[in-house]
Amino acid sequence: EPLRIVLFLLITISLIFAPAIADAIGAPAPEPIAGYWIGGAGSLALLARERDNRTRKLLRLEREGIVADLNLSLVKNVLVGGQQTISVRSLRNEKRLIAVCGVAKDLEKLEMLEFAPLQRRLEAARTIVVPIPTDQSMRRYGTSYAQASDLEEWRRVFQTLLTADQAWGSNFQFDQQNKAAFFVLGLNGRSVASGQGFPRLLELLGSRLPPIDPIQPQPQNIEFAPQAAFYSALKSGNIESMNALFGREDDAEVSAIIANGGRLDPWTSQLGPQSRPSELIIGDADLTIFDDVAITTAIEQNGLDPFQTLLATQRWTRVGEGEDDWRLFSHATVPFTPSAMAAALLRCDHRGCVLLVNQQQITR
């Protein structure tokens, strides 16, 4: 890149000042002059582009260095307790990092509904989550959250990033509506994702934060009966059982994809003889319940392709007092394989499933 800048600079000078250079060395005047000037203008435009790219990269490196000097506190031992203060720089080659800046009550809700249910998947991806509340201190830090050692310093750095230019990504601007933003650092300490609003954790795990080591799910008896019934209907193609599991509420994200031109495949199509995953292996299932909402997750593996593992989540809503009185609100699946970047996310509700193509910026 520096070499291209120098070359375009020399070409620009040579073309624009070609008549003067020719006169100085006693050479014939270049013809046609207009062609030289047009070529010089084109070279100047390329020079400006390369210079802007170089400036953005240098700014990005500078800001990544500033973030690397921030400190956070980690629990030394879950049983014994105690905290260890480390710098973000010391995480390189050991851990990834998600930093989320927003209102405290929203961060607490985010922890309950997204980060806590996917905590074991975050551990598989060696990822630490640091919440940065903008209004007050957090009332509680969930087990999936690390704590910023100097909250004011983290806020100041976030504010600098949010009010600067777009070097961290075209969408990394302060969102006045959601009042939230995030960035993600990879194992090498470099920024791999950023955006307005709160991160879509499932998509991040599939596209930017895949597991470090291979996952081999072992078939198991799923303890949460509604989740077991869902997979039984999915593998057998029982459309009546599937319809009975779902509630009638539309998933807003499925509706948004349809409104933007996405194709909805109904469950009758998904569960057809040629479409249903009859050889699917389900393992490593877990359950998280908060009031009237339950989040279940599982690792899926196609028996026909043992090297491809998927991360699936289901969101349930309580409709009664019985243990099995739950209705499925949404189901989502994303590839979750080491060193593989997911190309798409499958999201479903009672109407059927849509395919969401992965984008570089993953924001809500």
Most confident among 40-49, 167-176, 222-231 (mean pLDDT) = 222-231
> How confident is the model over 150-206, as pLDDT tens digits?
888 888 888 777 765 444 444 444 444 557 889 999 999 888 888 878 898 998 998
Intra-chain end-to-end CA distance of the chain, in Å: 34
> How confident is the model over 324-361, as pLDDT tens digits?
899 999 999 999 988 777 668 899 999 999 988 755 43
5 backbone dihedrals φ, ψ, rounded to 5°: -60, -45
Angle (nearest 5°) at CA 332 between 245 and 218: 85
Could you tell me whether strands 181-185 and 147-148 are parallel, antiparallel, or unpaired per DSSP bridges? unpaired
Q: What is the pLDDT of residue 82?
A: 62
Query: Residue 111: is its pLDDT beyond 80?
Result: yes
> How confident is the model over 270-314, as pLDDT tens digits?
999 988 888 899 999 999 998 899 999 999 998 766 678 999 999
Whether the CA torsion 199, 201, 203, 204 is positive or negative: it is positive
CA-closest candidate to residue 149, choices 91, 66, 74: 74
Q: What is the pLDDT of residue 14?
A: 84
- Is 229 in a helix, a strand, or coil? helix
CA-closest candidate to residue 306, choices 334, 331, 280, 343: 280
For residues 233 and 314, is the Cβ–Cβ distance under 8 A? no
The set of residues, in sequence order, having a beta carbon less than 8 Å from that of 364 and lying 6+ positions away, is 178, 197, 198, 199, 200
